[in-house]
Structure 1
């Protein structure tokens, strides 16, 4: 079954360089609103097949999927359910929440977050290892609910940068300490197919239109696949940015 992972559009916290965390009232900025409006068009090939839109309860995720939910309501099969799931909410950054990233970069914990994120526990908040456990457990449970039993029913999950990176690291078989190598930009699309043998990562950090193979092969192709998925990723930065 295939899950389309969407990071929320650019938020006002992204623009101001603040680690919003779970702070209330953080919505999309003007560019983020534009990104949200473009999302249905980028998903044209899968709109008729989407079985559910699952999202974090935070405002920026609700605003990101709102145009998609409207578009789905107009399709022949009716709207896919919009499901709010606390298990895919943003990291609880505790005392780091709502602080400028430039100030956090001088904290001793910053180096741990960059180099050994599996050991990072935010003061007054949660650890990234805990985030990985709750997010990966949730995505597998949700996939059983919404993925269908034929392997061809996509569903969508809208969440946050570090949460999605943890899900992707797990799907790639990477240790969490390596998850800072993954780039997940605002409004980007990544796709994981949870097959019977193993997860297959079909695209990461796609910032264009999405094209999916109808039925990903259950067994890996010797020598490589023939190339049916659209893959697009950005170069990212030398040092990973946490959170928003």
Structure 2
């Protein structure tokens, strides 16, 4: 189902035009990591020790006053309170992103490296596009990209997904306008295709926003079948985010076939 696994990385890069995005952009991923890593090391933080990083960043954050005072001993190159808050939030979310997946769970070398890559990609994107920065849900999207692509490829794929209107542009803005629109679309779709279910949900006070919003903010990574997740991503990369209505049709057809 979907793109053959052996071809998925190549096809995703092609559909997202990651090579052309990288070549047309002045942003240098490796340079960004170098600029970020130095001050973090000065703070005693390493992407290879996420739990200790959380503790250190939390202590540093608590030590700063409301005037964004720098930590003691820091020079002008140290990070602000906003930056430390950003790094801490990303580190916290790494613990919640696919905690049962072998590439991210536990203390194995693979998991430690996987968390480090995810930490770097998310911080780099926040620096690449400070207007968007980082929001919860991005860690799931970046993690799936890292499961299929190399680290820098995953970064540029994330940039393409979050910046292009065809995909997730404006999905993570503070107003959540685009997500709310998708919730309304889903409600109308449900009323049209499954009126009895829609009426029942309404009668018991179940709001679709509680499950539709996580679908979009994590790009359907919460689906129980991993093959289905990848197939949905294949469709989204090909047709854009609005292909979710096709996904609903496919799932409904399968359900009817079973019954």
Q: What TM-score results when the alignment is normalised by the length of structure 1?
A: 0.28
Q: Choose between structure 1 and 2 for higher RCO, CA contacts under 8 A separated by at least 6 residues.
A: 1
**TM-score with structure 2 setting the length:** 0.27
**In proportion to residue count, which structure has more helix?**
2
